[in-house]
Amino acid sequence: QRLTVDSRMPLTVRDLMALALRKWPLAFGIGRKLAARIEGYAPAVSNLIAPGARNVELVLTLGGAMAGEVFDVNTRAPLPNVALTIDGPHHGAPVKAVSGEDGRFKAERLAPGTFKIDLREDETFIVSGEPVEFTVADELETTGVQVLVTRGGTISGRVYDKDSGIGVAGVE
């Protein structure tokens, strides 16, 4: 359910759950979380909220930032125009960043927590080794994040049934 909240009015969300869930609202982890996203703030999410809860507050903060560089794993040269996907506790679509001509990149307004960097939308490079992980604290900048990449390539082969040896079509 999507809501738009005016700064002058209180938040009211009606008809969240069926009557059956009211009997033991949080005993089994049943409830809802509220999430908020707006330009200029880090995304925020509430704790689990029981149906009928009152005086629920969702506090928005400026969030944190991170800055880093992308390097070729073999030459250690900085790489420009590498498309980074940043996954973590930002409650929505992944954050995107692109390295500049000097290989540097920056992401701002990140919710506090742990993030991973992936290159799933970059058509040329892949992360060398394990995914890069970093932590962001509210209103602080995490610096020195290094992403080592290598040029991607093509993998070819087949997927087949173990017993018959016949190829299986439509595998994703």
Mean pLDDT, 10 residues at a time, over the chain (172 residues)? 57 49 47 77 80 77 93 96 88 85 95 91 88 92 95 86 92 82
Report how far residue 164's alpha carbon sits from residue 133's, in angstroms, rounded to the nearest whole number: 42
Residues, the chain, total? 172
Predicted confidence at residue 13, as pLDDT, reads 56
Q: CA-CA distances (angstroms) from residue 63 to 66, 67, 113, 120, 158?
A: 10, 14, 10, 25, 46
Q: Which two tokens stand for residue 1?
A: 């359910």
Q: Which two tokens stand for residue 94?
A: 């992944």
Predicted confidence at residue 21, as pLDDT, reads 42
Report how far residue 150's alpha carbon sits from residue 122's, in angstroms, rounded to the nearest whole number: 12
Burial of 125 (0-12, 13-18, 19+ CB in 10 A): buried
